[in-house]
A and B are shown apart, each in its own frame.
Chain A
Amino acid sequence: MATNNGNAATLNAPHGKRSWLHRNRIKMAPWLFLAPGLIFFFIYVIAPIFESIWISFYAWDGLGPKEWVGMGNYVELMDDDRFYTSLVNNVWWLVLYMLAVPAGLGIALFLNQTVTGIRIYKSLFFFPFVISQVVVGLIFTWFYNPDFGIVGIVWKFFGASPPAILADEDLVTFGIILAGLWPQIAYCMILYLTGLNNVSPDQVEAGRLDNAKGWKMLWYIILPQLKPATFIAVVVTVIGALRSFDLIAIMTQGGPYGSSNVLAYYMFETALSEYGFRYGYGSAIATVLFLIMLVYISFFLWRMYQDEKG
């Protein structure tokens, strides 16, 4: 204290600073709390995006010197059959994965009743989402095996020769998407189940008085109230479809001869797998994938912003 008093003059300068902090501490507090998250988000999410865009302009094997090739990697992409196969498969994933949304809604409506043991049924339906994608992939691989899988057994029962789904270039993608739908439907279902909890009984009651039943009730009374759940379900399904990776790695590794590849796996394969290590080319694929995702992400952010405002 004594020293403080003795240096009153020097204290004046920091005093002004301290009062700025003091005046703005309400504004500063959230940033302070956000800072750790923001810093990590920047280091691990934002910075790598720009880094990988930057790398996509080089030819680089990760070991030797980088060689600037400008748009070379992108020009090569335009002429790469595997890239187009992957892109088309990505579109199939996006379209067919969307089936998870209505299917999840259907199951949620079905399970949204009070019967003894309903919690057990709900858990059972939710189960595929809880188990690892690796396990899902393995189970479906066995399932599709024409020799000992259930597909083989059913086909043979009807006297037909079973298709080798995972070895057929025309069927393989659909086989994997079906495997992916199993946990994705469970995910959408749980989103809708929570949504259904919040459906206002008054409005349902009012609808009943106006003689709404069945589809009409669903379409005009229930679904509008489930809009937030639908929105989230669509978004997670889109993201899930675009980053479909684990199932492909487990079930086919992109095969046969690249016909079940999607962009995410193709990127991994070119940049990081046993026969890859073309970091530049892999980054170019990643950039394309990022641009596609950006469309959805911007839409998502824009919608969030609109909702917050309204």
Chain B
Amino acid sequence: MFKSISKTAAALAITSILGAPAMAGDLSIIFDDLNPAPKAGFEAAVEKFKAANPDINVTVSINDREAHKTAIRNFLSAEAPDVTSWYPGNRMAPFVNAGQFEDVSDLWEAEGFSDSLASTKSAMTIDGKQWGVPYTYYQWGMYYRADIFAEHGIEPPKTWEELLAASAKLKEAGITPITIGTKNLWPAAGVFDYLNLRTNGYDVHNDLTAGKIKYTDPRIVDVFEKWRELVEPGYFIENHATMSWQDAMAAFIKGEAAMYVMGNFAVESMRDGGLSDDQIDYFPFPEITPGVARAEEAPTDAFFIPANAKNKEDARKFLAFIAQPDIQTEWNETIGQLPINKNSSVGDDKFLQKGFETLSSASGLAQFFDRDAPAEMAKAGMEGFQEFMIKPERLDDILKRLDKIQARVYK
């Protein structure tokens, strides 16, 4: 009896010695996507991290994406996790400026991320420092119904004139050329960004979202004039302001609309809607001004360490872990997106392959209008885009209003 007690005591003593580092290694992570594929990808990566670091006790909580956008403001200051997911570009700026995110430049230095994650370095950088580690991005572009194009003898357009010609032909055949749902505003920003990137190029996009160019600038007016060539003949679906992007997908799936300016996440719902891979395809948004270097939209998702995190050492380990090529390869295969580490390999899916080709040959990668511009400007701008798509005759008023808001936001 006595013996067994002393044995237990010894065992306890040993476990507590062994357990000591484990006690120190509590790591809490908050992730922001409850959709099945992203959730599975994240959880698989966490399992691997646990297997590689058995001494770290990882706890995970997963928020709804929209809820996360408001919750993060509270938990960063009140009860910070050790790692949280968030977005780069201007979306991370308020937290960086308020000192809520940890500077991880040392990690970028030590792990050589400037080389392996080079494509998104600029998006992760504010004041010359890096604030997080990206794990995925995806391409935007024109998704189209290959079967409808074939039926009407249309080739995927490469230039603006070809796009207008294809649209006219589809319209004549009683098919809406382009579907879009602007109820949530941002899909309209996708169209605007592409028109701007193709008309004026990457630098103008950056200068506009940085507040260095006015909306009444002739170059931006040009963008809207191009847009007008699609709006006024009715090449966009009617009633788009009542529809979310998923609602607008219905017309695409039913074959009532043939093209969709979207991000690669839309492919999943096309397939869910019963379209086979033969029916759908992708082409990069057509050229508008010849000679403008092709830049693309590629929104990035990343992980950050809150400044108030308790276990920053293990948090850095996690960030380094998710940047590894094999982890990013597997994770992105699960979620159907593109890995950022240049040593990762891309999934077999044809959209991933085409997307990878498009992005790796692009001259610049934009995050997206609502991530590159400050929140308030983004909101006002996107409302302006929506208004323009419904009332193109109000262009002057819209641009003047945006100038007014711009003057206030960037002061």
A: residues with CB less than 8 A from B are 61-64, 76, 81, 141, 144-147, 164, 166-167, 169, 252-253, 255-258, 269, 272-278
A182 to chain B, nearest CB (A): 20
B209 within 8 A of A: no
The smallest beta-carbon distance between A3 and chain B, in angstroms, is 50
B94 within 8 A of A: yes
Q: Which of B77, B238, B241, B375 contacts A63 (CB 8 A)?
A: B77
Is residue B106 within 8 Å, beta carbon to beta carbon, of the partner chain? no
Interchain CA distance A166-B70 in the complex, whole Å:
27
> Assuming the A-B contacts A76-B408, A255-B183, A275-B370, are A145 and B242 also in contact, with contact meaning beta carbons closer than 8 angstroms in the complex?
yes
**How far is the CB of A73 from the nearest CB of chain B, in Å?**
11
> Does B185 reach chain A (CB closer than 8 Å)?
yes
Q: How would you classify the secondary structure of chain A's contact residues: helix, strand, loop or mixed?
A: loop
Instruction: Give the complex CA separation of A167 and B95 in angstroms.
Output: 35
With A258-B383, A275-B376 already in contact, the answer to whether A63 and B70 are too (CB < 8 A) is no
With A63-B98, A64-B97: A275-B401 Cβ-Cβ less than 8 Å: no
Known: A63-B77, A63-B94, A146-B238. 5 other contacts (CB 8 A): A63-B73, A257-B386, A273-B70, A275-B370, A278-B376
How many of B's residues come within 8 Å of A, CB to CB? 32
> What are 25 inter-chain pairs, A to B, with CB distance below 8 A?
A63-B77, A63-B94, A64-B97, A81-B401, A146-B238, A146-B239, A164-B238, A164-B239, A169-B390, A253-B183, A255-B183, A255-B185, A255-B241, A255-B386, A256-B387, A256-B390, A257-B384, A257-B387, A274-B375, A275-B375, A275-B376, A276-B375, A276-B376, A276-B379, A278-B376
- Give Cα distance in the complex from A272 to B240, angstroms: 26
Is B48 close to A, CB under 8 A? no
Q: How many whole Å from B391's CB to the nearest CB in chain A?
A: 8
CB proximity to A under 8 Å, residues B233-252 = 238-242
Instruction: List chain B residues, Cβ under 8 A from A276.
Output: 375-376, 379
Provide the residues of chain B in CB contact with A273, threshold 8 Å. 70
Check B241–A164 contact: CB distance below 8 A: yes
| Residues B375 and A167 in contact, CB atoms below 8 Å apart | no
CB-CB < 8 A to B390: which residues of A?
167, 169, 256-257
Whole-angstrom distance between the alpha carbons of A38 and B386 in the complex?
48
Residues of chain B within 8 A of A274, CB atoms compared: 66, 69-70, 375
What chain A residues lie within 8 Å of B401 (beta carbons)? 81
B341 close to chain A: CB less than 8 A: no
Docked pose: A275 CA to B76 CA in angstroms: 18
- Bound complex: CA A108 to CA B77 (Å): 53
Please measure, in the bound complex, the distance between the C-alpha atom of A167 and the C-alpha atom of B97, giving whole angstroms: 38
Whether, in the assembled complex, B175 has its beta carbon less than 8 Å from a beta carbon of chain A, the answer is no
Asked whether, in the complex, the Cβ of A63 is within 8 Å of the Cβ of B239, the reply is no
Nearest chain A residue, comparing its CB with the CB of B66: A274
A63 contact set on B, CB distance < 8 A = 73, 76-77, 94-95, 98, 100
Task: Note all chain B residues with C-beta closer than 8 A to A81.
Answer: 401
Question: Are B73 and A62 in contact, with the CB atoms below 8 A?
Answer: yes
- Check: B399 CB closer than 8 A to any chain A CB: no
A166 and B242 in contact, given A274-B69, A275-B378 (Cβ under 8 angstroms): yes
Q: Would you list the 6 A-B pairs with minimal beta carbon distance, nearest first?
A: A275-B379, A167-B241, A63-B98, A164-B239, A257-B387, A256-B241
Question: Which B residues are CB-close (under 8 A) to A256?
Answer: 182, 241, 386-387, 390
A-contact 0/1 string along B238-273, CB 8 Å cutoff: 111110000000000000000000000000000000
Report chain B residues within 8 Å CB of A147: 239
> Residues 163-188 of chain B: 1 if any A CB is under 8 Å from the residue's CB, otherwise 0?
00000000000000000001111000
Across the interface, which residues of A come within 8 angstroms of B77, CB to CB? Answer: 63
- Shortest Cβ distance from A158 into chain B, in angstroms? 19
Q: Which residues of B contact A146 (CB under 8 A)?
A: 238-239, 242
Residue of A nearest to B404 (CB): A79
A174 CB, nearest partner CB in chain B, Å: 15
Task: Give the distance in Å from the alpha carbon of A274 to the alpha carbon of B401 in the complex.
Answer: 21
Inter-chain CA distance A198–B390, complex, in Å, is 54
Cα–Cα distance between A147 and B240 once the two chains are bound (Å) = 12
| B389-410 at interface with A (beta carbon < 8 Å) | 390, 401, 408
Chain A residues with CB under 8 A of B240: 167
Q: How far is the CB of B345 from chain A (nearest CB, A)?
A: 34
Q: In the complex, what residues of A have CB within 8 A of residue B184's CB? A: 253
Residues of A within 8 A of B378 (CB): 275
Contacts of B379 in A (CB 8 A): 269, 275-276
Residue with the greatest number of chain A CB neighbours at <10 A, chosen from B69, B73, B383, B408: B383
User: Can you name the residue of chain A whose Cβ is closest to the Cβ of B383?
Assistant: A257
**Assembly CA distance A277 to B97 (angstroms):** 14
CA distance A172 to B384 in the complex (A): 18
